[in-house]
DNA sequence: ATGTATGCAAACCATTTGCAATGAC
DNA sequence: GTCATTGCAAATGGTTTGCATACAT
């Protein structure tokens, strides 16, 4: 990994944040941040927990949650709540800004580059609100599903098997 | 309410959906849809449940969840998962498109008109995906909270007996 | 008549919380 | 030495599930 530079950078930033807010600089906090910045895509609490155990770094889930809150607060991490029991996080630096295409049929989440829809100038226009970050969720039907749906409808107009579909969460 | 027309429209659409998917047309389902389309802004399961009880329509929460799943599936309702324990829904028709300002501190959700950031032309550019709708979630701190935070910090720096000043690194 | 949909209550599970022990300051 | 932070385990609370009953077809 040659993102050592980035990892040091965010460590410094976190350090500053902790200082300003008079929070303690515990080894756990830095280890967690470092783990996160060794990952590239989305991650959830469970995978983070396991990845830390894998490297023989013992942390409790409680600490993980505490630390993530701090990282969210200082903007080093972003949280996506895709469903009631599906929260995903991702680091903010070293990741390109992207939108999320969520298929309403199969629930698949695809990332797509955005053309910086929401410019800093626009962000400032919002009254009485300090923007930290934003997420764009685009809901629709992916090509796989729109094809499957056509097939299904064709079939239904002939047969009568319905079957409940619980994928749309 | 003079949205009778809209309410009939969506009822028809729901009816069609139920027919195609061979689901039963129960009174509960139509009552729930109608209640939803009598509301304008966001709602959550609890408020929906209570609003139905208020009109002496007894439904179980389980049925509410089942029905909402159907309504999501057929696109008559949209779900916003603002946090692990905070899901909000809203009807899709008869609501202007808007962005969501979510306060990371108190969880308040404010709506703000968007300047049509995501134009139909841009939507078509997305490959292999049919856009139904999109949601923009803007996370940050509302004015109330940022004010409260200042107060809190000020108070802490008085109360604290640590005597640390900011000269150190 | 058949089997889906409902209602209830228990189960689920990610997240939060209370509290004693630890360790950063 | 203090008190924030950690770790553990128990609690929380929206959502899901299992099962008996009701009812749309």
Q: What are the pLDDT digits (tens) for B76-121?
A: 998 888 888 889 999 988 877 778 887 766 677 788 776 556 667 7
Q: Are A28 and A56 in the same domain?
A: yes
**What radius of gyration do chain B's Cα atoms show?**
22
How close, in Å, is residue B85 to chain A by CA atoms? 7
Asked if A28 and A78 sit in the same domain, the reply is yes
**Interchain contact, A135 vs B137, CB within 8 Å:** yes
Q: Dump pLDDT digits (tens) for A16-65.
A: 999 999 999 999 999 999 999 998 878 999 999 999 999 999 999 999 99
Domain end among B62, B95, B128: B95
Work out the average pLDDT over B124-132: 76
Cβ contact B169 with chain C strand, < 7 A? no
Please list, in sequence order, all residues whose beta carbon lies within 8 angstroms of the beta carbon of residue A117, skipping any fewer than 6 positions away.
Answer: A99, A136, B117, B118, B122
A10 and A91 fall within a common domain: yes
Whether A81 and A126 share a structural domain: no
Written as six digits, the tokens of B13 are 């659409």
Domain that holds residue A84: 1-95
CATH code of the domain containing A113: 3.30.1490.190
Q: How many domains does chain A have?
A: 2
Residue A88: its H or E element: strand A86-91
The answer to whether B108 faces chain A, any CB pair under 8 Å, is no
Residues B7-36, buried b or exposed e (16+ Cβ, 10 A)? beebbeebeebbeebebeeeebbbbbbbbb
On whether both A90 and A145 belong to a single domain, the answer is no
Question: B63 beta carbon < 7 A from strand C?
Answer: yes
> Can you give the pLDDT at residue A114?
66
Let me know whether A85 and A100 are in one domain. Answer: no
Asked whether residue A7 falls in the same domain as residue A66, the answer is yes
Residues A42/A100, Cβ–Cβ less than 8 Å: no
pTM here? 0.75
Question: Is pLDDT above 90 for B16?
Answer: yes
């Amino acid at each position: 990994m040659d993102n050592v530079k980035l990892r040091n950078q965010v460590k410094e930033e976190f350090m500053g944040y902790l200082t300003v807010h008079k929070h303690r600089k515990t080894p756990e906090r830095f280890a967690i941040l470092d783990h996160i910045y060794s990952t590239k895509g989305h991650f959830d609490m469970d995978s983070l927990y396991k990845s830390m155990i894998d490297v023989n770094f013992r942390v409790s889930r409680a600490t993980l949650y505490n630390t993530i809150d701090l990282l969210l607060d200082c903007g080093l991490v972003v949280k996506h709540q895709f469903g009631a029991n599906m929260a995903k996080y991702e680091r903010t630096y070293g990741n390109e800004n992207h939108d999320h295409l969520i298929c309403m049929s199969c629930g698949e989440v695809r990332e797509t580059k955005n053309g910086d829809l929401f410019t800093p100038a626009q962000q400032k226009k919002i009254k009485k609100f300090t923007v930290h970050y934003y997420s764009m969720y685009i809901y629709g039907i992916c090509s796989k599903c729109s094809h499957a749906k056509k097939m299904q409808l064709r079939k239904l107009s002939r047969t009568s098997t319905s079957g409940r579909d619980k994928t749309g969460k």
